Structure 1
Amino acid sequence: MKKFILDTLLKPFFAIVFFLLFGIPFVFAGFQTVHITGTKSAEDVVTIDFTRTHFWGLYRTTRHLEGVTEVTLESRTSDRTNTRPMTTVSGVFLVTATQSESLFSFFSNTDDSLKSEAMDSLNGFLTDPQQRTYDQTFAMRNIFGWCGLPFLIIGLLGLFGWPGTIFKALRS
């Protein structure tokens, strides 16, 4: 019975938890898609709606901003510890008179060209008086997602295969 509990229940459980806890946040941050739509009213008030999707569309958040005045790229340095140097990380923000909302989910030191493209495209929409609507999609696929994907796959395979292992052990 001790061998059954240890080898069939506890070891697989902790292995699956490890792989999923490592894979899920990396895939969440590294693979995201942002769909942005914007309109300008007759008074040139800019309204922007954007939908951020993760896990290939399974997790979705939508934001609505009215009165967007600019899009900025904010940079900051990560905390320095004794074992690693400071790193500059950045994120794209949509700015209104009362708030600032991040376009992508996390600050990172990757995808600088995608961030610049998103910022330039949105600022072009804001400054062009002839452009009344905006519709664009930006897909972020960076090193964080690619590093976390194998862990997520192994964790999911273990999770789905675990019941079979338990039934097999119970039969023998």
Structure 2
Amino acid sequence: MKKQFFAFGLATMMMFSAGTSALAAAPTTKAPTTKAPTQKVTKDQQIKNIVTYAKKLKGTPYKEGGTTTKGFDASGYVQHVFAKNNVKIARNSADIQKQGTNVALGKLKEGDLVFYNTTGKPSKKASFVGIYIGKNQFMGVTTKNGVSVIDMNNKYWKSKYLGAKRIIK
């Protein structure tokens, strides 16, 4: 060990006596760091991201008033999914229903929002919202199944359908 330390010390002394410093070779100032430019997400990519994330949450339980991945109610789920994709929407189904552009049932696209009246009382005001994922299906939150894929042709859902909106144009 003493021999190795001595050899290292001798080599270091020889470097400095020759006028060469290992420290001199290192730059004395930091190079400026540049941030990678933030890429703007296209409308189509944003919609794809929304649908992908909505599906990823499948199985998350229902929780009254829930807005987190620990548990959702219907509008809390939709608001959460859109917020994760930088789209701000209202908190409850009736207020979300006031946003966006109307879409006919036959013109639905992935990422559109579908609205239902699940109160049992006649009303055009939404009490439930889900995210359309194509093939007459939407992602929604039910008390029994939590976040799940729901068939729009199901007798229950078909009878309660109010309409759809496109938030991302």
Same fold (TM over 0.5): no
TM-score (norm 2): 0.29
Which protein has the bigger strand share? 1
| Richer in helix (by share) | 1
TM-score (structure 1 length as normaliser): 0.29
Higher relative contact order (CA 8 A, sep 6+): 1
Larger Rg: 2
